[in-house]
Amino acid sequence: MVNHQPSVSIGIPVYNGENYLSKALDSLLNQTFTDFELIISDNASSDRTQEICLEYSAKDARIRYYRNDSNLGAADNYNRVFELSSGKYFKWAAHDDTCAPDYLEKCVEILEKSPDVVLAYPKAYLINEQDQITGIYTENIPITANKPHQRLYQLLETYGWFHGTQAFGLFRRSELAKTVLIGKYPQADRVLLAEVALLGKFAEIPEYLFNRRNHPKISQRANPNDESLSVWYDPKNKGKIILPQWKRYSEYFHIISRTKLSWDEKILAYLQLSRRMCLSPGFRKRVNSIKEDLSKATKLFVMNLSRTNLTSSNSR
């Protein structure tokens, strides 16, 4: 066990990650910045994940391993590693990604020097199952404006080519704790980053220090539609009426309302969000997506109502 409060907490939420977990752990344990704790929350894996975690935790006292009795879903597991952390800075790490040795060192340096920065992250490579570089993420997101509503505007303008690698950057823990963390719906990380942008600036390190792995079992490929992805976020969503587009846009408005911004900043933030939703090229697509959500919900409601009436009639 770590006997002092570490500067950095790294949280790894994992479920059946035996294929790549060792590579992820090795890349984190080999960081040049060593004052960190590594918290693993195992979502009741059925493969060798537990064995691998116990093997590593026996060798390095910085590792704290927890195993859930059942699969809580990705959202609760991601949030759990944060709740178990104590460091000044916090980073989520996926079990299948890797980091360059100086990843933490470079991110901590920025956060220490710039108190107005709440999230630091490097550029990222896209790698395959054999660790070969197959592409780069070109997310040059300048979330550097002084006003919260301006930073929200900067972030919203990137959503046509947003990949979410920033969510695996290094956060200032005190600010991340003010957010709702990861919600139980698809693309909740986008909403989280929007909320973080209202709290402070982002800083991108102009070096490729992060490797995002693409393989058949990543969440987006293993769950090709919103229904299955919603269940991945929370197993309790199974069989429920899911309105992912509606939920996501309502949450954007909610994060503005719950922040401690001045009223004029809140109004400007609402206007930026409304402008983005209404004037962007994808507005018609968004409206159609919400219409599809409502249509599916109506059909499911009618089906469930019919089943209820049929069951009631048969029981008489």
pLDDT at residue 2, rounded to an integer: 47
CA distance 179 to 255: 8
Q: Which domain range does residue 157 map to?
A: 8-221
Cβ-contact 245, 289 below 8 angstroms = yes
Query: What's the alpha-carbon Rg for the chain, to the nearest Å?
Result: 21
| Whole-number pLDDT of residue 142 | 80
Domain annotation covers residue 270:
no
226 found inside a domain: no
In a domain, 253, yes or no: no
In a domain, 104, yes or no: yes
pLDDT at 4: 81
d(C-alpha 171, C-alpha 92), whole Å: 9
The pair of structure tokens assigned to 42 is 């195992």
* Distances, alpha carbon 114 to alpha carbons 107, 108, 172, 195, in Å: 11, 10, 11, 19
174: in domain: yes
Looking at residue 132, which CATH number applies to its domain? 3.90.550.10
Has residue 239 been placed in a domain?
no
- At 117 the three-state DSSP class reads strand
In this prediction, what percent of the chain has a pLDDT beyond 70?
Answer: 83
Amino acid 279: pLDDT: 66
Give the relative orientation of helices 148-156 and 263-279 as an angle to the nearest 10 degrees: 20
Low-confidence ranges of the chain (pLDDT < 50): 1-2
The answer to whether the beta carbons of residues 82 and 10 sit under 8 Å apart is no
Report how many domains make up the chain.
Answer: 1
Residue 288, in any domain of the structure = no
pLDDT in the model for residue 210: 97
